[in-house]
Structure 1
Amino acid sequence: MPADWTDNLPPAVISYLGANRLDEVECVIADLPGIARGKAVPATKFARQSEFFLPNSIYFQTITGGWGEAAGEGGFTEPDMVLKPDMSTATVAPWTGDWTLQVIHDAFQQDGAPVPFAPRNVLKRVVELYRKEGWEPVVAPEMEFFLVARNINPAEAIAPMMGRSGRPAAARQAYSMSAVDEFGPVIDDIYDFAEAQGFEIDGITQEGGAGQLEINLRHGNPVKLADEIFYFKRLIREAALRHDCFATFMAKPIEGEPGSAMHIHHSIVDRETGRNIFSGPRGAETDQFMHFIAGLQTHLPSVIALLAPYVNSYRRYVKDHAAPINLEWGRDNRTTGLRVPVSEPIARRVENRLAGMDCNPYLGIAASLACGYLGLKAGQKPSKEFKGDAYDGETEIPRGLHSALDLFDNAKDLHEILHPDFARVYSIVKAAEYEEFLQVISPWEREHLLLNV
């Protein structure tokens, strides 16, 4: 690092630190589930280094801490990756007791090539494909999550948190301001942490579940927005812990309640003219707009394993429970998997409503953009616009992780976009997780099978 490296930190960091001496730097990367991995080092040591090292086996780890046999022909030797800081991602950790900085790092092999199965590199690869065509992809994610009572015994069902009124959070209060007020102290900390970190929240609303909230983020660069979601998940968890509750991003944490999605809004800008390619000179929808929708319709089933990465994820795709069950598209229709929101022509966009909040944000956004890219390149045409209640249509989404992985394994065109080695590693790790899950006996099995079969 140059001697004056702290002078070039983002404005939000400089404003937060003020005259205080920086104590520690957390050097972090996102693994396949999206968990922050890395090292915490004294600020003085960070100033003397331009890179650090971690074993590539980080990307072979399952959500339970197990391992997928994904090392390849060389065997499980755990060679070091070279991790280099992206200082544009530097942000503070305002919940810590000292003055701490977080910095996202990019992962490289020792020969200088990007590690192909690092999620941030996967998203960068997809964005670069768009740029080679003269396009700039723009996304706006929505984050849904639950605030729940502390759950320290996995055998117990998850329950809504206790609100400010002293009553458990109630369901079916979508958009209620009083319901939002129930979580006021947690939301206040979320806003304060976000401001300290330099993140702009477009709005917070109460969703339909008990203790379920949604945060909308401003549209922008896909990598930057994925970085923010990666940071936001930790930020929100820390805010909840301050108030004796948990924040969960599980797709379906509470039985009978709707699940949590990460809806992704997409538009594409021409890099030369700056215009939205989904709208023509007179504001009409373009052929490219339709091609993008067609790409999502055609290819999304093959990447559901990335958008819905766990066995719990598929509990969200239930008819009439606020999540789509098929890939119909419609204008201002929240029952379809693909929605075209009401907007001016300059802001015309497509909303992918399939992704769960449990997905890795880098991989979820990369997968969705990859599908649209294939549609644009192939000049595909979508089905006829769906009018009415799409829950009356046929189910077009895999009903479980095993079948979703089968579709992903056979999607060789998508493997080339995301990177074949990423596809190989991801499939192996997810299959290992599924095998781990099959070793667990559920309460339903004990209740209905123990004495009846």
Structure 2
Amino acid sequence: MTSPSGSTLAEATAFLEAHPEIEAFDIVLTDANGVGRGKILRRHELMGVYENGRHMPISILGLDITGEDVHETGLIWDSGDGDLRAWPIPGTLVPLHGTNPPRGQVLMAMYHLDGQAMTSDPRHALARQVEALAAKGLHPAGAFELEFFLLANERDADGKVQPANAVLDGRRSGKTEVYSVDHLHGMEPLFSDIYAAAKAQGIPAETVISEYAPGQYELTLNYRKGVMRAADDLVMLKRLVRMQARRHGVTACFMAKPIEKYAGSGMHFHVSLLDGAGKNVFTETMPGTWSPLLLHALGGLAETMAESMLVFAPHANSWRRFVSQSYAPVAPTWGVNNRSVALRVPAGEARNRRIEHRPSGVDANPYLVAATILAGVAKGLEEKLNPGAEVTGNGYEAAGEAKSKMPVDWRAAIDAARGSSFLATALGPDLHKTFVEIKWAEYLRVARTVSELDYHLYLHEV
């Protein structure tokens, strides 16, 4: 059958001809948690994947973060755990840098056997939002920022994770060396391999900085005219950073808050809208006056933020990141050139006007994040929503009543998401059910776990 994803035999044939050294391929399907699930195939199997797709069990999209089945999704025994068909995503067939023997990789998307999109696949949710905006003559452009920690493989004397020593010379630093260029030099061999891997995969990785915690870094990605490709970039970049870090003897950590006394890691998403001629509709036409479309988009994002927080902060650990004056937003506020708000309009030329959406942790699924943000933007435009007054100065002090509208913890976010008609529309009813049930199963797992903290607080005291 013709590939419903748009992949072609010509792409696979050309790749194999250009890379006779590659012996195997990772085929990777991204689940609701952003975890890559799939197989490693031998070289001779690749053409078959492009000709006929590859059968994979439907249950692969109904797994929790540990890989356990979540029966309440309806994707396990309700369907007999039958096979569906995964197809390659065009443009994601790439070599993997530094593997021995040489391997390649291709991202996959799930479809029913008749070629219809499998609606619990997160990538399809983003595709629907992109298509809905296109029907209105609007085309989203954007890019993600990737914050992460490089940690030592060994814990410290108290069993806590600790920043990795420099891979260049083993030097240890426990300081917050934010924006230190000299500190980056210690990780130069690793970042050189990350850049080489990104170049091989066509990922526009750009600036690296030492971030606001020991062992924390940020990689930025160049703006994409297609938001779908921007999300693919982030998925692929996380995979290659993790792979290259492991090759250099350290751990790339994408938890939102791995070290309790330092700032967590975000996944800020920059987004704008282009019209059919490629013009940015967020650009103001009169100096000193914001574009009404920009303000309406901000209004939609502010109004839908509370019920969407489970997408932006999907795990128990995600909620440890939201601390006042930690560069993580605590209320649905907006401002200009201000990093203390949730929705930031960066400084710069008017033609590059965009929204930086700051609530998401790096542990979130970029497809779901982008889909939910685009749906919020569309709601704001359609209903001409007002974002309220711009926040200036300290957004944490100005949060006030706006903060009270936000879920206070993971459980509250799950409840808000479950009852949200907006989120059901943003993700589609099937994925909405799948995602919420997976999160509820994970919540129950955490809630019944007796931790070391329990023993520390209560063992000898109650």
Aligned match of 1:422: 431
1:46 equivalent to 2:46? Answer: yes
Report deviation, 1:4: 5.4
1:293 equivalent to 2:295? Answer: no
Aligned match of 2:68: 66
Once residues 72 and 241 of structure 1 are traced to their aligned partners in structure 2, the CA distance between those partners, rounded to angstroms, is 33
Aligned match of 2:113: 110
Question: Any conservation in 1 of the 2:211–2:217 contact (CA below 8 Å)?
Answer: yes
Question: Any conservation in 2 of the 1:2–1:47 contact (CA below 8 Å)?
Answer: no
1:268 equivalent to 2:273? Answer: yes
Aligned match of 1:93: 96
Q: Rate the CA distance shift 1:80–1:343 in 2: closer, same or farther, 3 A.
A: same
Once residues 373 and 175 of structure 2 are traced to their aligned partners in structure 1, the CA distance between those partners, rounded to angstroms, is 30
Question: Any conservation in 1 of the 2:171–2:186 contact (CA below 8 Å)?
Answer: no
Aligned match of 2:30: 30
Once residues 42 and 76 of structure 2 are traced to their aligned partners in structure 1, the CA distance between those partners, rounded to angstroms, is 37
Deviations 1:103-141 (A, max 9, x none): 112211123221111011111111111111110001111
SS where residue 391 of structure 1 aligns? helix
2:345 counterpart letter in structure 1:
V
1:182 equivalent to 2:191? Answer: no
1:446 equivalent to 2:461? Answer: no
1:426 counterpart letter in structure 2:
F
Once residues 299 and 14 of structure 1 are traced to their aligned partners in structure 2, the CA distance between those partners, rounded to angstroms, is 48
Mean Cα displacement is larger for which, 394-403 or 364-373? 394-403
Deviations 1:370-418 (A, max 9, x none): 1111111111011100111011123353232110011111211331232
Once residues 127 and 14 of structure 1 are traced to their aligned partners in structure 2, the CA distance between those partners, rounded to angstroms, is 33
1:418 counterpart letter in structure 2:
L
Report deviation, 1:154: 13
Q: Rate the CA distance shift 1:240–1:382 in 2: closer, same or farther, 3 A.
A: same
Question: Any conservation in 2 of the 1:337–1:354 contact (CA below 8 Å)?
Answer: yes
Report deviation, 1:6: 4.2
Once residues 187 and 135 of structure 2 are traced to their aligned partners in structure 1, the CA distance between those partners, rounded to angstroms, is 45
Report deviation, 1:73: 10
SS where residue 306 of structure 2 aligns? helix
Aligned match of 1:144: 147
Question: Any conservation in 2 of the 1:171–1:208 contact (CA below 8 Å)?
Answer: no
Question: Any conservation in 1 of the 2:311–2:368 contact (CA below 8 Å)?
Answer: yes
1:249 equivalent to 2:254? Answer: yes
Report deviation, 1:364: 1.4
1:335 equivalent to 2:328? Answer: no
SS where residue 448 of structure 2 aligns? coil
Report deviation, 1:26: 2.1
Report deviation, 1:7: 5.0
In structure 2, which of residues 237, 244, 256 is the aligned counterpart of residue 239 of structure 1?
244
SS where residue 81 of structure 1 aligns? strand
Question: Any conservation in 1 of the 2:344–2:358 contact (CA below 8 Å)?
Answer: yes
Q: Rate the CA distance shift 1:344–1:103 in 2: closer, same or farther, 3 A.
A: same
Aligned match of 1:198: 202
Once residues 2 and 367 of structure 1 are traced to their aligned partners in structure 2, the CA distance between those partners, rounded to angstroms, is 30
Report deviation, 1:334: 0.5
What is the count of residue pairs matched by the alignment?
A: 446
1:43 counterpart letter in structure 2:
R
Q: Rate the CA distance shift 1:3–1:207 in 2: closer, same or farther, 3 A.
A: closer
Q: Rate the CA distance shift 1:209–1:416 in 2: closer, same or farther, 3 A.
A: same
2:180 counterpart letter in structure 1:
S
Once residues 156 and 214 of structure 2 are traced to their aligned partners in structure 1, the CA distance between those partners, rounded to angstroms, is 20
SS where residue 129 of structure 1 aligns? helix
Mean Cα displacement is larger for which, 191-200 or 138-147? 191-200
1:207 equivalent to 2:239? Answer: no
Once residues 160 and 21 of structure 1 are traced to their aligned partners in structure 2, the CA distance between those partners, rounded to angstroms, is 36
Q: Rate the CA distance shift 1:433–1:72 in 2: closer, same or farther, 3 A.
A: same
SS where residue 75 of structure 1 aligns? helix
Deviations 1:296-333 (A, max 9, x none): 10001111101111000000000111211111111001
Question: Any conservation in 2 of the 1:5–1:47 contact (CA below 8 Å)?
Answer: no
Mean Cα displacement is larger for which, 249-258 or 273-282? 273-282
1:23 counterpart letter in structure 2:
E
SS where residue 107 of structure 1 aligns? strand
Question: Any conservation in 2 of the 1:291–1:379 contact (CA below 8 Å)?
Answer: yes
Report deviation, 1:338: 0.9
Once residues 146 and 218 of structure 1 are traced to their aligned partners in structure 2, the CA distance between those partners, rounded to angstroms, is 21
Aligned match of 1:56: 58
Deviations 1:349-385 (A, max 9, x none): 1111100000011111111221111111111011100
Once residues 33 and 365 of structure 1 are traced to their aligned partners in structure 2, the CA distance between those partners, rounded to angstroms, is 14
Note the residue ranges of structure 1 that are not aligned, 5 or more in a row: none
In structure 2, which of residues 217, 222, 226 is the aligned counterpart of residue 218 of structure 1?
222
Q: Rate the CA distance shift 1:72–1:196 in 2: closer, same or farther, 3 A.
A: closer
Deviations 1:254-290 (A, max 9, x none): 120100000011100002x211111244565211110
Once residues 369 and 95 of structure 1 are traced to their aligned partners in structure 2, the CA distance between those partners, rounded to angstroms, is 36
Q: Rate the CA distance shift 1:156–1:265 in 2: closer, same or farther, 3 A.
A: same
Once residues 107 and 68 of structure 1 are traced to their aligned partners in structure 2, the CA distance between those partners, rounded to angstroms, is 18
Aligned match of 1:132: 135
Question: Any conservation in 2 of the 1:149–1:158 contact (CA below 8 Å)?
Answer: yes
2:86 counterpart letter in structure 1:
L
Task: Give RMSD over aligned pairs.
Answer: 2.1
Report deviation, 1:195: 1.5
Once residues 8 and 68 of structure 2 are traced to their aligned partners in structure 1, the CA distance between those partners, rounded to angstroms, is 39
Report deviation, 1:151: 4.0
Once residues 411 and 380 of structure 2 are traced to their aligned partners in structure 1, the CA distance between those partners, rounded to angstroms, is 26
Aligned match of 1:170: 174
Once residues 135 and 106 of structure 1 are traced to their aligned partners in structure 2, the CA distance between those partners, rounded to angstroms, is 24
1:407 equivalent to 2:410? Answer: no
Deviations 1:132-178 (A, max 9, x none): 11100011110000000104799921111112454433332211101
2:120 counterpart letter in structure 1:
F
